[in-house]
Structure 1
């Protein structure tokens, strides 16, 4: 690696949507964002740390331990977070995670991230093929946006656009009820790309602040 090419490392941490579940290309949106930057002459090392069924509580428990060995001192590091749909899933008629707990988990995580000096980008939870759950997720989406604003961390809300996106809804419906095919992930990537490009450019330049 030459001195002109910074050692940029990004951890994508979250749930099955981060992992790209349902995508036959095994890229999801995280892989597509990283690939886009690489093809534009801004190479990076990306780590996909998405885990199926993870809630915000699960991510809070593991994120720092998993990111630390992947983001060593000396590199230009960043963390992209996305979770929330599993929080709003009902099990036995009860929410897996209450909205106020989801928001508190994100607040704690962003507070921890500030102490690491790793800048963070947060992608909001997407839509599924269950409008009642989408309504519950919409509450979390608003809370997440508020928490990120308090921490001055960029937040991308994708739920409203995906709830109204015919291709996303069709692929989710024809799939497992939650995850799209590759075209759906391309649509989600397009929603995230503007914020990603701005954020990633600052991480790469070394001028970003958590």
Structure 2
């Protein structure tokens, strides 16, 4: 093996849009991940992407970035676009299920990060969406990070959103998302010791 390669698909939250440090949660998590040997983190973000859109592109885009000599892994960062686009929960569930099933067929270990809270008007819908995504992942024994429930009433998260455009987190918000990822099975999924993050 020539190291670890993570390919991360998702929307603008995966890209860290709105973070003045340009790290987002992905950069912060990568900085706390210390495998032996080479470590590649390839981020493939499309702003405003629904799970339908993600399902149409991810396999081809990810396949072109895999290294046959590396430990290749897929991280799926789910955003809030399904709620904004009015997709049914059944459609969102099916879209994620299809991604996870194809990844399993490709023998590509997968880790899923759910959508965080956004505008309060979308709260109930996003809570349902996160729970639906969690159920799909759990049924497939794929690690799932619920970012919605811990952050929905979190003062620092809400303050970070309010200080910006109300939708995208800034430095503090992305730090909270990274903390949740690092403390929800990230290191065990990678076969690495916990780093005390």
- With normalisation by structure 1, the TM-score equals 0.86
Query: In the alignment, which of 51, 54, 66 is matched to residue 61 of structure 2?
Result: 66
Matched, 1:9 2:1: no
Instruction: Tell me how far apart the structure 1 counterparts of residues 191 and 21 of structure 2 sit (CA, whole Å).
Output: 26
Contact 1:84/1:137 (8 A) holds in 2: no
Instruction: Name the residue aligned to 1:159.
Output: 148
Instruction: Name the residue aligned to 1:55.
Output: 50
- Deviation (angstroms), 1:102: 0.5
How many corresponding residue pairs? 191
Instruction: Name the residue aligned to 1:179.
Output: 168
Query: What SS does the corresponding residue of 2:105 show, helix, strand or coil?
Result: helix
Contact 2:10/2:46 (8 A) holds in 1: yes
Instruction: Tell me how far apart the structure 1 counterparts of residues 23 and 190 of structure 2 sit (CA, whole Å).
Output: 18
Instruction: Tell me how far apart the structure 1 counterparts of residues 166 and 37 of structure 2 sit (CA, whole Å).
Output: 35
Query: In the alignment, which of 21, 28, 33 is matched to residue 32 of structure 1?
Result: 28
Instruction: Name the residue aligned to 1:145.
Output: 134
Instruction: Name the residue aligned to 2:195.
Output: none
Instruction: Name the residue aligned to 2:19.
Output: 23
Contact 2:13/2:79 (8 A) holds in 1: no
Question: Structure 1 residues 174, 55: closer, same or farther in 2, change over 3 A?
Answer: same
Query: In the alignment, which of 72, 82, 85 is matched to residue 77 of structure 1?
Result: 72
Deviating beyond 6 angstroms after TM superposition, the runs of 4 or more aligned structure 1 residues are none
Contact 2:10/2:45 (8 A) holds in 1: yes
- With normalisation by structure 2, the TM-score equals 0.91
Question: Structure 1 residues 127, 42: closer, same or farther in 2, change over 3 A?
Answer: farther
Contact 1:28/1:182 (8 A) holds in 2: yes
Instruction: Name the residue aligned to 1:108.
Output: 98
